[in-house]
Amino acid sequence: MKNPYKNSFHIEPVKGLLNDPNGLIQFKGKYYFFHQWNRFETNHEYKEWGLFTSKDLVKWENQGSAILPDVEDDKNGIYSGSSIEKDGTMYLFYTGNSKKQGKRKSYQKMAYSEDGRTFVKKKQVIETPTGYTEHHRDPKVWKKNGKWWMIVGAQTKSNVGAITLFESSDLVKWQYQGEFYSDIALDQVCECPDVFSLSNDVDILTVCPQKRTLIEEMDLPISSYAGYLVGKIDYQQKKFVELEKLRKLDYGFDFYAPQTFEDDKGRRILTAWMSRMEEREEISCPTAKEGYLHCLTMPRELKWKKGHLYQVPLKEYEVLRIDKREYREDCLLIKNQNNTYEMIINFNASIGDFSMTLNSERNSISYRKGRLEISRINWATGENESREVQLDSLYKLHIFNDSSAVEVFINDGEYVFSMRAFSSDCNRDVYYQNLGHNGSVMFYNY
């Protein structure tokens, strides 16, 4: 029988477990999305970098393995990291996880590639600075003021999430520059930090806070959200100066370990892991039976507008549209058997209470008194669960529905909800109520 959960426009592995996007880059005319991969099983016991490439950010070619855990200082996992290009060579920075007598040891390492197919590891490594535990990982590298900078996610020895900073003039020798940022809002470990500018006066620092005790083996319930800080990098003080408290990047259920890169059109593009589930959710996830787990979000463009971070779907996705239907009825049942489609709902300014259901009524979206709520049936518990955000107004919903992944962009990307949603039913009717006067629904089959 055909696998009803197989996504068609979200990157997912054919086999094994995929997690964080890594080393995102546009290199010699192609987009490279590396990712954390256990190519053997649907668990987290083995990690290498796998690779997908694309010419247009929509159709992806699976290139299989890229970097393997095959030397002493990364033998227990090629963990997350980033990449940059210098003089026609791709440089990839990652964390080598190397257990010594069962104890975690982390090294920040580098590999390079001239052709994007063969990756050569360099011997030099960065050791964890004093004051931090071995939860020191996920290097992100960028260039500024003629120098290379690297931030690394960390846990202080007093058990607070932090980010360390390094500097280099040749990408090989790195000097530790001190703590870039730390705050109790980062919980006990910060994973996968990223930092970038979106305008002359605003830098964004994205973070993934994790709860953890100082006892290595004791794992606490995971927190699966990614956040961002609005502020400014102070290159003199070598610190990130925050202007506001931590905000959520995505309001759905499935969004973790985001990473960004800049493409040749100057767009800052983000993609994330969909997602960091609880262990029981991974075990009972319907695709685990098919031998694979997880996917990435669609890449999105980031924009800074009116003091707010917008996440906008890429125009490239429009090539997937194969037909277009338009509806203006106030309430309607849209008959549909197709797993993959896009919907754009434009509301009139005076919208009242709106609601809709999709995917055999397993998902709902409702808007009441300024509160937008999205729900799904959790496949592990069988229970309905919801997430919400308070809006000043609602004028647009932009929905991308893949076979088992839904992304909802609100008000041109003011907020986004990402979620996995599993329905084996071939009835994919959409029902909506109270579109209101002058509202319109565009429905595109993929």
Residues of this chain that bind ligand FRU (CB under 6 A): 19-20, 36, 47, 79-80, 95, 137-138, 191-192, 256-257, 276
Instruction: State which residue, 48 or 407, has the beta carbon closest to ligand FRU.
Output: 48
Q: Which tokens is 124 given? A: 């030099």
Catalytic residue check, 170: no
Cα separation, 83 vs 274, in Å, equals 21
Instruction: State which residue, 80 or 113, has the beta carbon closest to ligand FRU.
Output: 80
| Catalytic choice (20, 74, 187, 194) | 20
Residues 6+ apart with CB under 8 A from 343: 397, 398, 399, 401, 430, 441, 442, 443, 444
Give residue number: closest CB to ligand FRU.
79
DSSP state of 320: G
How many CB atoms are closer than 10 A to CB 237? 11
Q: 439 and 351 in contact (C-beta within 8 Å)?
A: yes
Instruction: State which residue, 275 or 340, has the beta carbon closest to ligand FRU.
Output: 275
Distance of CA 29 to the CA centre of its chain: 23
Strand order in the sheet with 430-433: 332-334, 430-433, 354-358, 363-368, 371-377, 384-390
Helix (H) or strand (E) holding 282: helix 279-284
Q: How far is the CB of 276 from ligand FRU (least distance, A)?
A: 6
Q: How far is the CB of 19 from ligand FRU (least distance, A)?
A: 5
Torsion angle in degrees (nearest 10) through CA of 172, 173, 175, 179: 20
Instruction: State which residue, 22 or 375, has the beta carbon closest to ligand FRU.
Output: 22
Instruction: State which residue, 285 or 441, has the beta carbon closest to ligand FRU.
Output: 285
Instruction: State which residue, 148 or 256, has the beta carbon closest to ligand FRU.
Output: 256
Q: Position 205: which residue type? A: L
Q: How far is the CB of 44 from ligand FRU (least distance, A)?
A: 6
Instruction: State which residue, 19 or 156, has the beta carbon closest to ligand FRU.
Output: 19
- Whose tokens are 């530790």? That residue is 176
How many CB atoms are closer than 10 A to CB 145? 6
Q: 432 and 40 in contact (C-beta within 8 Å)?
A: no
Q: What is the CA radius of gyration of the chain?
A: 22
The 8 Å CB, 24+ separation contacts for 277-281 are 277/224, 278/221, 278/222, 278/380, 280/380, 281/378, 281/379, 281/380
Instruction: State which residue, 224 or 366, has the beta carbon closest to ligand FRU.
Output: 224
Q: How far is the CB of 403 from ligand FRU (least distance, A)?
A: 24
Q: How far is the CB of 36 from ligand FRU (least distance, A)?
A: 4
- Whose tokens are 């259920």? That residue is 253
Comparing CA positions, the residue from 255, 228, 206 lying closest to residue 418 is 255
* b/e 11-34 (16+ beta carbons within 10 angstroms → b): bbbeebbbbbbbbbbbbeeebbbb
Q: How far is the CB of 176 from ligand FRU (least distance, A)?
A: 20
Q: How far is the CB of 12 from ligand FRU (least distance, A)?
A: 16
Q: Which tokens is 13 given? A: 């592995």
Q: How far is the CB of 86 from ligand FRU (least distance, A)?
A: 23
Q: Give catalytic residues, as residue numbers.
A: 20
